Amino acid sequence: MKVKILLIIFCSLLSPAFGDELFQYSIGSYPKNPALGCALTAQDIGKQFSAVTGKKVFRATCDAENRFGYDMTITYVAQASEPQMSTRQEAGGFGGRLGVYRSREECESNLSQEIRWFEESTGLTRFLAYCYLESDLNLTPYAAYVTGFGVAKLHPYRFEATVYGNVFSSPDWARELSEIALRAGIQVKQVTIAHDGSNKLVVRYYDSPENILFHSGYFVLPPSGPFPHMKTGNEVAQFYSYQPKETQEACLFSGEKILKTFAPEFTDKSIWFCVWDPMLFKAALYVVRVKPTISTEGENAPLYYGSFGKCEAERKDVLELYKSELKKDVLGGVCTWQSQFGTGKPDGYFARIFTRTKE
């Protein structure tokens, strides 16, 4: 009889109460612990999970051990899943790689800062925090994973856009962009160039899910080349020459001009930077704006120039033509190199005119 009673008590402890269900909490790429191994590490984290959440853990298992670390699952009993937030959720609709650090050492040296960003912004206490390897094929393959339980005040987000080449303009552009965003009320935590097969401008920030304030600020550009249904890219203008110095100087010159032209149109000044692609002998000018007051759209005037200098010499006349004769609400313009591949026309420079458009 005693054995039956003990068995019933034991089974009742493991069985879900009325209305309870089984839920799972997954952990991926957790750093290996040779002293414990995967199975014991899972059990240890299961105990921590139970202590922090107050939930009964039914099972803590090691699902896999590979070169990226341990994959584990905590199965627990509750009436509803435990609300959680993690830095992995900042991917949003991008769904790509999150890595922004070149090595585990670089990531771990910034881990305390990542934890502080997470806790101050979400109002949650971190449960797990570690660095993990996403892929060893990229130049920035490491990311920080910080997670906590509860309803977060703010959520982690990121904006990213591909930039073709290496930044060579103002060395302070990343810091300036962060300061502008902060003044605009956006809690930017990191601005950097990451690499997942191509260079990406990455802006990591926290905000309310009902009020995502950060805008990419990349201008709407006209279709071009042999694929007229496709946009030309995120750059405001391109510059091409077999003379790198000449090309880069043209980009820097145009960047200063763009800054003066568009700054009054934004709630704060816009940021520009140039990138250089040594493989294609091309420079590209990018402009980032925060909380724009207007939209801008670029249109290439149908006037061909064989060089940047020739285009620049006539640029003001073309702007005046668009204002006075075509009655466009012109903001300004810049000369840009444009490939004419597939059109039978030679490559060259065109005046790109930017006009105000409604949001």
User: pLDDT (tens digit, 9 = 90+) per residue, 160-205?
Assistant: 777 777 787 777 878 887 887 787 677 889 988 888 777 888 888 8
Same structural domain, 101 and 58: no
Q: Are residues 102 and 73 in the same domain?
A: no
251 and 344 fall within a common domain: yes
Q: How confident is the model at residue 73 (pLDDT cuts 50, 70, 90)?
A: very high
Query: Contact, 211 vs 157, CB < 8 A?
Result: no
Return phi, psi of residue 228, to 5°.
-65, -15
- Token pair 């207007």 is found at 294
Which whole-number Å values give the CA distances from 148 to 78, 97, 154, 296, 320, in the listed order? 18, 21, 13, 40, 57
Tokens of 242: 């077999």
Site of tokens 């959720």: 89
In a domain, residue 48? The reply is yes
Looking at the fold, whether 150 and 117 belong to one and the same domain comes out as yes
In a domain, 92, yes or no: yes
Q: CA of 293: how far to CAs of 249, 269, 359, in Å? A: 30, 11, 8
Asked whether residue 267 falls in the same domain as residue 335, the answer is: yes
**Per-residue confidence (pLDDT) for residue 187, from 0 to 100:** 83
Flag whether 138 is in a domain.
yes
What is the per-residue pLDDT for 197? 75
Cα distance between residue 57 and residue 13, in whole Å: 11
Question: Is 101 found in the same domain as 54?
Answer: no
Q: Report if residue 213 sits inside a domain.
A: no
Question: At 108, phi and psi to the nearest 5?
Answer: -65, -30
Last residue of a domain, one of 78, 103, 119: 78
Distances from the Cα of 152 to the Cα of 25, 118, 121, angstroms: 18, 10, 8
Residue 320 to residue 308: CA distance in whole angstroms: 19
220 in a structural domain: no
pLDDT in tens, 223-282: 333 333 333 456 778 888 888 888 889 988 888 887 777 766 665 666 778 888 888 888
Same domain, residue pair 149 and 99: yes
Q: What is the pLDDT of residue 60?
A: 98
CA distances for 358 relative to 140, 141, 294, angstroms: 38, 40, 6
Last residue of a domain, one of 188, 207, 226: 207
The model's pTM is: 0.74
Together in a domain, 309 and 346: yes
Q: What is the pLDDT of residue 229?
A: 32
- Please say which residue of 78, 100, 115 terminates a domain: 78
Both tokens of residue 178? Answer: 């962060």
Residue 2 included in any domain:
no
- Please tell me the distance from the alpha carbon of residue 36 to that of residue 112, in angstroms, as a whole number: 24
Q: Are 234 and 296 in contact (CB under 8 A)?
A: no
**CA dist 292 to 43, 109, 180, 265, Å?**
50, 35, 12, 7
Q: Does residue 6 form part of some domain?
A: no
Mapped onto helix, strand or coil, the DSSP state of residue 106 is: helix
Specify whether 177 is located in the same domain as 123. Answer: yes
Tell me the residue range of the domain where 58 lies. 19-78
Domain count, the chain: 3
pLDDT at 165: 76
Q: 10 pLDDT exceeds 60?
A: no
> Are 95 and 178 in a shared domain?
yes
Sign of the C-alpha dihedral computed for residues 235, 239, 243 and 249 taken in this order: negative
Q: Which residues contact 33 (CB under 8 A, 6 or more apart)?
A: 41
Domain assignment of residue 54, yes or no: yes
Confidence (pLDDT) at 186: 77
Q: Hey, what amino acid is at 345?
A: K
Residues 49, 100: one domain? no
73 and 95 within one domain: no
